């Protein structure tokens, strides 16, 4: 087996293995420290989304919103749909995907499934009609779809959906990105995720919420060797630093719902790093001294995209 630039099968590979493990160890220690020590900005707003969930839900229900979900058959998507079914925040939820699953038979009233062709989404505009909230948990991997296929799904399909949704009256778009997203990154994954965020900002939804979860914790049905390798090696990290680089899919789903039902903040674009996601889901308690109520700013100042 070749791992990075080390050949682990080679008979005299002991020094190579040692160096490889040391390098990896240092790399992960740095990464984990950076993410674990990161501060959550705007703690008050984020923690309130968890604390005021019940009240927000009650008010939100009265307003009679409708939502669509793309990526609902994925790991985050499945849990999100389950959560949406439980809280009944929306009068109507349209599940938009590439294949019929009949999942609605197991869900309560208000759920509909629509099969679309993401390469010709213009022909399926009606699927998004009347939905003022959109959830995106779509995604693939380079291993599964190739580099071009990955960009097509994680960037192009998301952007096209967002454009059609916006034209159909979508006001709030909730987007699953990833920890480390960076439009200038030299890595395809983080660069594509970063570029998708940038493209979405240009659409100017009334409200755009970007979630950057860490490594997803779930029992993935599909086998992904590299992911399961990391999950095994990093288990102690997930245990001792649960909010640094990992995120249970339930936490992402709960954070998305808590965000969707919360009153809009002053910012058009909200960017939630991993720790913020944990806090928004009620999985990380804020320090009392961080619970500072934000002071109101002028509209002009707050219209810019700000990081959390």
Ligand X SMILES: *[C@@H]1O[C@H](CO)[C@@H](O)[C@H](O)[C@H]1NC(C)=O
Ligand Y SMILES: NC(=O)c1ccc[n+]([C@@H]2O[C@H](COP(=O)([O-])OP(=O)(O)OC[C@H]3O[C@@H](n4cnc5c(N)ncnc54)[C@H](OP(=O)(O)O)[C@@H]3O)[C@@H](O)[C@H]2O)c1
273 binds, among ligand X, ligand Y, none (CB under 5 to 8 A by kind): none
H-helix or E-strand spanning residue 189: helix 188-202
Does position 77 interact with ligand Y (CB under 6 A)? The reply is yes
Does position 209 interact with ligand X (CB under 6 A)? The reply is no
Does position 102 interact with ligand X (CB under 6 A)? The reply is yes
Number of H helices, E strands in the chain: 12, 11
Separation CA 111–CA 90 (nearest Å): 9
Does position 74 interact with ligand Y (CB under 6 A)? The reply is yes
Report yes or no: 254 and 83 within 8 Å, Cβ to Cβ.
Answer: yes
Cα separations in angstroms, 70 against 98, 103, 148, 169, 306: 9, 14, 20, 16, 25
308 binds, among ligand X, ligand Y, none (CB under 5 to 8 A by kind): ligand X
> In this complex, which beta carbon is closest to ligand Y, that of residue 40 or of residue 196?
196
Residue 189 known to be catalytic: yes
Q: Which of 226, 206, 228 is nearest to 217 (CA)?
A: 228
Site residues for ligand X, 21-60, by CB under 6 A, read 41-42, 45
User: At which residue do the structure tokens 């062709």 appear?
Assistant: 117
> In this complex, which beta carbon is closest to ligand Y, that of residue 166 or of residue 175?
175
> In this complex, which beta carbon is closest to ligand Y, that of residue 2 or of residue 99?
99
Dihedral sign, Cα of residue 257, residue 39, residue 210, residue 30:
negative
Does position 140 interact with ligand Y (CB under 6 A)? The reply is yes
Separation CA 195–CA 182 (nearest Å): 7
x-or-dash pattern for ligand Y, window 244-283, by CB under 6 A? Answer: ----------------------------------------
DSSP assignment of 238-252 equals: HHHSTTTSEEEHHHH
x-or-dash pattern for ligand Y, window 148-167, by CB under 6 A? Answer: -----xx-------------
Residue 193 known to be catalytic: yes
β 92-97/66-70 pair status: parallel
Tell me the two tokens of residue 261.
């039902």
- Binds ligand Y (CB under 6 A): choice among 48, 66, 161, 176: 176
216 binds, among ligand Y, ligand X, none (CB under 5 to 8 A by kind): ligand Y
Collapsing DSSP states into helix, strand and coil, what is residue 90?
A: coil
Q: Give the nearest residue (CB) to ligand Y.
A: 74
Residues catalogued as catalytic = 189, 193
Residues that bind ligand X (CB under 6 A): 41-42, 45, 100-102, 184, 265, 267, 270, 297, 301-302, 306, 308
């Amino acid at each position: 087996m070749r791992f990075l630039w080390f050949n682990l099968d080679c008979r005299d590979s002991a020094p190579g293995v040692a160096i490889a493990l040391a390098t990896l160890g240092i790399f992960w220690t740095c990464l984990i420290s950076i993410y674990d020590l990161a501060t959550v900005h705007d703690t008050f707003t984020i923690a309130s989304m968890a604390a005021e969930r019940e009240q927000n839900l009650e008010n939100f229900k009265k307003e009679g919103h409708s939502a669509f979900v793309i990526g609902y058959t994925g790991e985050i998507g499945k849990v999100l749909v389950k959560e949406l079914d439980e809280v009944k925040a929306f009068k109507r939820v349209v599940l938009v995907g590439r294949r019929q699953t009949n999942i609605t038979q197991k869900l309560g009233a208000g759920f509909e499934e629509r099969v679309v062709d993401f390469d010709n989404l213009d022909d399926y505009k009606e699927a998004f009609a009347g939905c003022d909230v959109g959830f995106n948990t779509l995604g693939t991997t380079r291993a599964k779809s190739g580099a071009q296929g990955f960009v097509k799904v994680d960037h192009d399909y998301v952007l096209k959906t967002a454009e059609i949704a916006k034209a159909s009256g979508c006001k709030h778009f909730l987007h699953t990105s990833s920890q480390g997203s960076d439009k200038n990154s030299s890595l395809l994954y983080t660069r594509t995720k970063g570029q998708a965020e940038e493209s979405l900002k240009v659409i100017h939804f009334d409200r755009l919420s970007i979630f950057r979860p860490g490594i997803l914790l779930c029992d993935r049905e599909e086998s992904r060797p590299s992911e399961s390798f990391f999950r095994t090696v990093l288990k102690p990290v997930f245990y001792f630093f649960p909010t640094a680089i990992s995120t249970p899919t339930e936490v992402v789903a709960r954070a998305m719902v808590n965000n969707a039902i919360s009153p809009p903040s002053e910012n058009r674009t909200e960017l939630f790093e991993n720790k913020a996601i944990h806090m928004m889901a009620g999985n990380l308690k804020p320090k009392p001294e961080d619970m500072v109520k934000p002071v109101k700013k002028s509209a002009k100042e707050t219209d810019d995209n700000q990081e959390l």
